[in-house]
Every structure is written in structure tokens, then in C-alpha cells.
Structure 1
């Protein structure tokens, strides 16, 4: 399996419901480093997994929709604990939608899967992987 990874970051504010979250139940900020890894079994006709520039641009556009937002105020996240794991899935699913819509080029239609990892510090991260 071949892969490429592109990286970016975003900053949010949010809070959690549930005693398991301790002080994180209060409004707090988080800065995530995001790695999006695209996988395919064989390289495309150009000898690549996917166009890195397009992958970078699409990841940046998705993260811009979340950046500098209080997720507690976003209707799409109403009633949801926007955990690192949950946000990894949100980013992965939005990337998958863009792949299927052709935003990463026709060659991207041959992708087998993708994984998104969000690092919230140098010691903690969460990821979500999905097929395409």
C-alpha cells in the first residue's frame, strides 16, 4: 500500500459534558496538528498516490471551516462531545466527500482509504481511518 501525508493545524474552543472529562467540562481551547494520510494499492498513471498540492488545499479548506470557532456554538455539533476522536472522523469524512466529488482530481478516485490523525499535544493524539 502506498501513502502520502499532508499536515496542517486548526484552533478551536469547546467544552464537554460528562464527569469523565473533569475540568474539560468548562470551556477551553485546543490547537490540533492534523495529518491526513491518503492510501492506494497502486500508483496512478502519473506515478503518485494523489496530488499533494490538491490534498493540502482541500485539507486547509476543511480546517478553515473549524478554525477559530467555538464548537459549542456550531449547530452541526449541537449535543455532541467534540472529542479529538470525533473531530478526526469529521475531518476524514469531509475529505472523503471531496475525494468523491472530484476535488482532488480524477486520479484520486483510485484511492483505497484515508486516515486522519489529530495531535492535541506532543503526548496525545487520536485518529480515524476509513475506506474510500
Structure 2
């Protein structure tokens, strides 16, 4: 299996509901380093998994949909605890939609799985990985 990973970052504010979150129940900020790993069983005629420029552009487009926002105020996250795990799955969904729409070119149509990893710090991160159907 071949893979290509692109990285970017996003800055957000949010709060959590539930005693388990302790002080994170208060509004706080986070900066996530975001990695998207596209996987395909073979390379295209150019020797690529996907075009790196298109992959970077689509990751940026996904992150721009909530970068520098208070997630608590965005309708797409209403009533949701926007944990790192949840946000990894959210970005994954946006990138799968880009793959299906053809925005990552022909190579994107061969991607069979995608992993999105959000790093909260050098000590903690979460990811969501699934087959692209």
C-alpha cells in the first residue's frame, strides 16, 4: 500500500459539556497540527498516490471551514462536543467528499483509505481512519 501525507494546522476555540472534561468545560483555544494520509494500492501513470498540491489545497479548504472560529457557534457542530477525535472524523468526511467530487484528480479516485490525525500537542493526538467507499 502506498501513501501520501500532507500537513497543515488550524486554530479554534470551543468548550465541552460534561464533568469528565473538567476545566475544558470553559471556553478555551486549541491549535491542531493536522495530517491527512491518503492510501492507494498502486501509483498512477505519473508515479503518484495523489497530486500533492491538490491534496494540500483540499486539506486547507477543509480546515478553512472552521479555522479561527469558535466551534460552539457554528451550526454544523451544534450540540456536539468537538473533541479531537470528533474533529478528526469531521475533517475525514470533508476530504472523502473532495475525493468523491474529483477535486484530487484522477489519482484521488484510486484512494482506498484515508487517515486524518490531529495533534493537540507533542504529547497527545487523535486520529480517524476508514476505508474510502
Runs of at least 4 residues off by over 2 Å: none
Q: What TM-score, normalized by structure 2, do the two folds share? A: 0.98
Cα distance in 2 for partners of 1:45, 1:19 equals 53
Cα distance in 2 for partners of 1:76, 1:38 equals 25
Structure-1 residue corresponding to 2:102: 102
CA RMSD, 1 decimal? 0.6
Structure-2 residue corresponding to 1:60: 60
Cα distance in 2 for partners of 1:106, 1:42 equals 13
Structure-2 residue corresponding to 1:88: 88
Structure-1 residue corresponding to 2:27: 27
SS across alignment from 2:89: helix
SS across alignment from 2:80: coil
**1:108-123 equivalences in 2 (<5 Å):** 108-123=108-123
Unaligned runs of 5+ in 2: none
Deviation by residue 1:82-119 (Cα, 9 ceiling, x = unmatched)? 00000000001100000000000022101111000000
Q: What TM-score, normalized by structure 1, do the two folds share? A: 0.98
Unaligned runs of 5+ in 1: none
Q: Give the C-alpha shift of residue 28 in structure 1.
A: 0.2
Structure-1 residue corresponding to 2:131: 131
